[in-house]
Each structure stands twice: as structure tokens, then as C-alpha cells.
Amino acid sequence: GDSVTQMEGPVTLSEEAFLTINCTYTATGYPSLFWYVQYPGEGLQLLLKATKADDKGSNKGFEATYRKETTSFHLEKGSVQVSDSAVYFCALSDLTGGSYIPTFGRGTSLIVHP
Amino acid sequence: DARVTQTPRHKVTEMGQEVTMRCQPILGHNTVFWYRQTMMQGLELLAYFRNRAPLDDSGMPKDRFSAEMPDATLATLKIQPSEPRDSAVYFCASAPWEGNIQYFGAGTRLSVL
């Protein structure tokens, strides 16, 4: 079946540092890829997405590029802020047996210190 | 600002009791999901509906869990009887169509004593 592997956290950074959270996937089809963010006490919310190879999703300074050759969708941000502290989930949606089954990674906790 | 609404936000109950969690998906969304989140297992997909019909509930313990959509504005997840290992945060999410962005509710935090 499909799977998503994220780097384990927590990732601890100082404000204005560069962020990379690695995500790789396995899929039987040609999935759409997503990054979601979860702030404490809240549900997940979409951060960005990409639907085909070489697409770059971007939002709020975060970026990720759909790399089919390496089956990766790494999340990056050039300068993190304390307010970026949250849990980040990489996810895919793949057509399986006539339905689009979503698959989420385990999540990576990001802690940004002032 | 359309959003997915889940009730209750918190539930504390005793082992053996029935628990019902409710979800109001965003109007017009045809796909609804139920997830369970724990520290140990992460985010697990329990059930998945398209146009109110269940498509996949393979992640759900069938002997005690049941999920339904009595109408397009309400999805329910029931646990009967509840057990301490069911303690978790349960999320509902809806999507305008399959494969697309999911919109999550704020979750129901369940504690079974």
C-alpha cells in the first residue's frame, strides 16, 4: 500500500533559521501531495499542495516541490518565526480501487525559539 | 467562513458507556473522513464516505465502532462499549471532491476512564 515517511522530530530551531522537513512517499498511482500544519489544540489545516511532477506549492513563505524521480516532497522555509511552531504533516492522495485514499505521515514537530 | 464543526469538543466517560461524536461537514462537500489521533499511532483513518455512502472503514474496529451519515449535514461516529484504549482525539474532515484538500474540524478529545 501507499506510505509517507517524514523525518522524526522534534526539530528545534532559532528564529530566522532555515527549515527543511524531509518527506518521501511510495504510491502505486500518481498521487497529489500535501503539507498540512496542526497548531496546538486545533485540527489540521492545509499549508500547500502539488498535483503533478515538478509543481511547486507555496504558502506563507513555505515551499515544497513534487519530485517524482526521488519520490519526495520536502518542506522548506527560508526564515522561520516563533509562530511557525506546530506539527507538520506530509500527506498524499492516491487513486486506489476506485477511491482516493488519503495517507498521512506521522508528523514532525517544529519548535522555534526566539 | 465555512468550517467543519465537531461536537462535543471534550468528552469524559467511563468504560462501557456509549460515546457518540458528531460532525457537520462543509456544505457542498461530498467526501467525509473520520480520523483518530494518538501519540503512539499518529493519525489513523477510520472511515471514509462519498456522497454519504461508506467507501472504506477498514481502519475501524468493527465490533465496537460504527460510522454513519444520516444526511448530508451530519456524520456520526459511535463507540459502544467504550474502552480506555479508545482515548484519543477524533477528527472529522470534509473535502469538496475526492483527492482534494481536506478541511478538518477542531476535534473531539475523548477520555475513557
State how far residue A103 is from chain B, nearest Cα, in angstroms: 8
For residue range B10-39, list pLDDT tens digits in order.
999 999 999 999 999 999 998 999 999 999
Nearest-CB residue to A102 (from B45, B50, B106): B45
pLDDT at B67: 96
Q: Is A34 in Cβ contact with B56 (below 8 Å)? A: no
Instruction: Give the whole-number percent of chain B exceeding pLDDT 90.
Output: 81
Beta strands in A1-114 (DSSP E): 3-6, 11-14, 19-21, 23-26, 32-38, 44-50, 56-59, 62-65, 75-77, 86-96, 99-104, 108-113
In chain B, which residues have their Cβ closer than 8 Å to the Cβ of A106?
A: 42-43
Mean pLDDT on B109-113: 98
Q: Is A44 in Cβ contact with B102 (below 8 Å)? A: yes
pLDDT at A13: 97
Burial class (CB in 10 A: 0-12, 13-18, 19+), B62: exposed
State how far residue A43 is from chain B, nearest Cα, in angstroms: 4
Residues A18 and B71: their CA atoms lie apart, in Å, by 47
pLDDT at A98 over 80: no
- Which 8-state DSSP code applies to residue B84? G
Chain B residue with Cα closest to A93: B99
Q: Is B100 in Cβ contact with A93 (below 8 Å)? A: yes
Chain B residue with Cα closest to A104: B43
For residue range A41-87, list pLDDT tens digits in order.
999 999 999 999 999 999 999 999 999 999 999 999 999 999 999 99
pLDDT at A101: 81
pLDDT tier, A95 (very low <50, low <70, confident <90, very high otherwise): confident
pLDDT at B58: 84
pLDDT tier, B59 (very low <50, low <70, confident <90, very high otherwise): confident
